[in-house]
Amino acid sequence: MRPTPTSCSFAILTNQADAGLRLSANYALPFAPKLSIDGSIGNDSAVAANVANTVFVPGQTLYRLCARYQFAIAGKPLTLRFNGANLSSVYRLRPVSSNVYSPTMQRNISIYLTADV
């Protein structure tokens, strides 16, 4: 007697890039030991935006650059971090599910101050 399957499942993948490339680097500056920079370049190919694969969102390349400065005040270590994301200010709609889109943020710059307690 052969076993009878009780359930069956399958997945249709949408909003998955066919190809992607990420390059990133982190560099501590030798002349300023408390300062480091890092950045990345990410590229994705076109992405199917519906289940039938008849609508595509074009590929994009995003750039990110960050700087981190570590110091102390009253013996407490602090880190000041500057982030710049999507520096080329690419605007596009990102597929969330079949025929549902979410806009990507344009150029985004932020500054954080964190403390170790």
CB atoms within 10 A of CB 11: 5
Residues (pLDDT < 70) of the chain are 1-20
Beta-carbon-side half-sphere exposure of residue 55 (alpha carbons within 13 Å): 13
Q: Please give the order of strands across the beta sheet that includes 35-44.
A: 20-28, 35-44, 60-73, 76-85, 108-115
| Tokens matching residue 63 | 């750039």
Cβ atoms of residues 78 and 72 within 8 Å: yes
**Residue 14: what pLDDT?**
47
pLDDT of residue 101: 76
